Amino acid sequence: MTVQVIETQPIEGQKPGTSGLRKKTRIFMQLHFLENYVQSIFDGIDGVEGKQLVVGGDGRFFNDQAIKIILRMAAANGAKACIVGQNGILSTPAASHLIRKLKTDGGLILSASHNPGGENEDFGLKYNGPNGGPANEGTTDKIFERTKSITSYKILASGDLDLSQIGTTQVGNMQVDVIDPITDYADLMEELFDFDAIRSLFASGFSLRFDAMHAVTGPYATEVLQNRLGAPQGSVVNATPLPDFGGGHPDPNPIWAKELMDCMYSDTAPDFGAASDGDGDRNMIVGKSCYVSPSDSLAVLADLAHLAPAYSAGLAGVARSMPTSGAADRVAEAKGIPSFETPTGWKFFGNLLDAGKVTLCGEESAGTGSNHVREKDGLWAVLLWLNILAKKRISVTELLKEHWQRYGRNYYSRHDYEAVETEAANSLMNDLRRRLTDLPGQTIGALTVARADEFAYDDPVDGSHSAGQGLRVFFDNGARVVFRLSGTGTQGATLRVYLEQLETDPSALDHEPQHALADIIAAADQLAGITARTGRNGPDVIT
Ligand code: VG1
Ligand code: CO
């Protein structure tokens, strides 16, 4: 088959964000857009000649077509082999696992994660390295530089591929292995957790509702929870992945997983509820009338992970992204293990995991994971919770109460203002940044500022420096507010405001978070002039 060299020119706006490049699907489908970016990835990693790559995505609209283009380009660029999930499907954690297990040179993951899918919605693509984790900033910078100077890309002239049959085929000189996307991942879960204990938990009548939100985790959850662990048929709902996620927003939080929340707060609630996102790397945990905030979930898992076989020797350390609450730090401190604070985005955990400095990581955005892969992992988090509950035999509510009694409660909430005019969002951030040094000592409503800064990170493993990672204001009562602009949106800017207050008074652990945080919420608005600058009366999403 002929290798075509197609002339092109740089296309603006191909800078990777928090987790790869995300754009409207129609933009990805524009002439040369995908091809330019794929060639820039290949060039940015010094070519793919003789290399093996894992390729798969979350099944959203354009997933299969994009994969076929990527395969023809990989072949034209001299790749040795590509391992592809059947029908082009791989959850993000499953792709990460395959890269590691098969020791490939990395992989391409097609997903816009929690963003809606469809022709008028979002699409995304990212490169993960040989460790299975999202490319570090050094690599994404190289890829971005290449997008600005590209003049041509290589692609095989033809080659209509059938990705529906498991087996090995050829595309030009490149081997394509179409594999079952589920089994390797399910086997890994079986190695990590006490499946016997979880099986007997279900056998005792423990009930579960796992909402796959019409996204990629459905088949994985069905295999693991129902087929292997004996949860009753129908425990996994919305289990068939759809190209548009059923028109929904596959983001597992109380707003977008409302169907699950309503069920869990009803009289007929099962014992345990969980949901995952578009590409299967996020998780939401909810007990009977008891939503577990992701920051609390990380802390609980850090406290009790030793009840699962894979973590029985204890944890090397724990890492959390900066906006995530300090709840996990308190557990680490009590256990005498190190804790790390990284910028937002899973790529920053990679070095810590590779160096064996941490075992568990988490983000406030419903991401939790461990050293078993180099991505966050939604179903993994659900299984660790189930393993813990199977050993302790108490409810989610009781477990959370016990945790707060012991460690205190970090009241926490994130307020998102979506699709804000980019100019307005930038000037809000720039003005606040300029005022940071003047803030200490100032009284804002009921609170006084103790210190304020812009978060920057020095990677303790490779020494790389990442600046501009969020504006932080600490108050003298221990409260904190963080302001950041999202790096995953596709429309205007999304302002994220992260609010936190530690409470250790045992009689004050049961408040509603928005109420407990009222002073900080008011102070945040006053500090940054959110209402005045965005014209919004309140956030679009509260988690
Ligand atoms: C968001 C979250 C961040 C997460 C990222 C990717 O980024 O805040 O914690 O790592 O999404 O998640 P941002 O820049 O929009 O705040 V997802 O499930 O891709 O993969
Ligand atoms: Co995701």
Secondary structure of the chain: what % helix, strand, coil (to 5)?
35, 25, 40
* Atom of ligand 1 minimally distant from the CA of 17: 14
Overall domain count for the chain: 3
Residues 107 and 148 in one domain: yes
Report the C-alpha gap between 69 and 156 in whole angstroms.
9
Same domain, 298 and 173: no
Give the Cα separation of 261 and 266 in Å (integer): 9
Q: Whose CA is nearest to atom 4 of ligand 1?
A: 345
Asked if 110 and 221 sit in the same domain, the reply is no
Domain's final residue, options 181, 196, 212: 181
pLDDT value at residue 127: 97
Pick the residue whose CA is nearest to atom 19 on ligand 1.
Answer: 113
Residue 194 sits in the same domain as residue 70: no
Question: Listing from the earlier edge strand, what are the strands of the sheet with 493-503?
Answer: 443-444, 447-454, 471-475, 480-485, 493-503, 409-420, 541-542
Q: Tell me if 18 CB under 6 Å of ligand 1.
A: yes
Q: Do residues 480 and 426 share a domain?
A: yes
Q: Rounded to an integer, what distance in angstroms lies between the CA atom of residue 369 and that of residue 350?
A: 11
Let me know how long the chain is: 543
User: How many Å lie between the centroid of ligand 1 and the Cα of residue 89?
Assistant: 21
Q: How far is the CA of 345 from the centre of ligand 1 (A)?
A: 6
Residue 32 backbone zone (phi > 0: left; psi -120 to 50: alpha; other: beta): left
Same domain, yes or no, for 332 and 320? yes
- ipTM value: 0.97
What local confidence, expressed as pLDDT, does residue 491 receive?
82
Range of the domain at 300: 185-407
**Is the beta carbon of 474 within 6 A of some atom in ligand 1?**
no
Is residue 280 within 8 Å of 100, Cβ to Cβ?
A: no
Q: What is the residue with the minimal CA distance to atom 1 of ligand 1?
A: 488
> What is the model's pLDDT at position 126?
95
| pLDDT recorded at residue 492 | 87
Q: Is the CB of 488 under 6 A from ligand 1?
A: yes
Last residue of a domain, one of 386, 407, 428: 407
**CB burial class (10 A; 0-12, 13-18, 19+) of residue 266?**
exposed
Q: What is the DSSP string of 4-17?
A: EEEE----S----B
Do residues 52 and 166 both lie within one domain? yes
434 and 401 together in one domain: no
Q: Is the CB of 543 under 6 A from ligand 1?
A: no
pLDDT value at residue 384: 98
Pick the residue whose CA is nearest to atom 20 on ligand 1.
113
Backbone CA torsion sign across 86, 90, 95, 97: negative
445 phi-psi bin (left φ>0, alpha ψ -120 to 50, beta other): left
CB of 277 within 6 A of ligand 1: the answer is yes
Instruction: From 407, 433, 453, give the residue that closes a domain.
Output: 407
CATH number of the domain within which 221 lies: 3.40.120.10
Residue nearest to atom 11 of ligand 1 (CA): 488
| pLDDT score for 159 | 65
Residues 193 and 131 in one domain: no
Same domain, 174 and 205: no
Together in a domain, 157 and 21: yes
Is any ligand 1 atom within 6 A of the Cβ of residue 133? no
d(CA 498, CA 394): 31
List residues with catalytic annotation.
113
CATH of the domain at 436: 3.30.310.50
pLDDT truncated to tens, each residue of the chain (543 aa)? 799 999 999 999 999 988 899 999 999 999 999 999 999 999 999 999 999 999 999 999 999 999 999 999 999 999 999 999 999 999 999 999 999 999 999 999 999 999 999 999 999 999 999 999 999 889 999 999 999 999 999 999 876 789 999 999 999 999 999 999 999 999 999 999 999 999 999 999 999 999 999 999 999 999 999 999 999 999 999 999 999 999 989 999 998 999 999 999 999 999 999 999 999 999 999 999 999 999 999 999 999 999 999 999 999 999 999 999 999 999 999 999 999 999 999 999 999 999 999 999 999 999 999 999 999 999 999 999 999 999 999 999 999 999 999 999 999 999 999 999 999 999 999 999 999 999 999 999 889 999 999 999 999 999 999 999 999 999 999 899 999 999 887 888 999 999 999 999 999 999 999 999 999 999 999 999 999 898 888 999 999
Q: Ligand 1 center to residue 91 CA distance, Å? A: 16
Same domain, 434 and 386: no
